[in-house]
Structure 1
């Protein structure tokens, strides 16, 4: 899970570019169970990108993959540096209940 600070003025552009990047780079990633981009309910809030992998090894392999590089390259429409301010915080699952 990543929290991504995005200025309110850049929210629409961020959503478009991030969603396009997810659609282009995530299909077929080994071990990826699903990915979601969550919009804050308050304007100017923090977006959350959630990716579920089968295990830590699958996540690590994705981090080393061409898919990851394509998603995060500045010219490929990944989480765009020009609209994401304040960097990205990363989280991992401690507990999961249910499907």
Structure 2
């Protein structure tokens, strides 16, 4: 599946980059910019970043579930991120008032 239309990056390429980063350091913080740097690309419109974050969370959880000896040590990051989205919302106005004008 094509995730980034600007750079023509597939979900498989992103998953591979995340796994490679986790192989280097399993507990590092992986963000979309780090994944794109690994792929020698850069975010252009950045509209794909929410999908990349979801992929990072899913792949990281699966990676730790495979490598962890005790399943109780694996924290469900996806549920925490979704909880934060519900708590803080996903407002696109960045806290600006309706009368705010950029120009």
Does the alignment reach a TM-score above 0.5? no
Q: Which has the larger radius of gyration?
A: 2
Pick 1 or 2: higher relative contact order, CA cutoff 8 A, min separation 6. Answer: 1
Q: Which has the higher strand share?
A: 1
Q: Which has the higher helix share?
A: 2
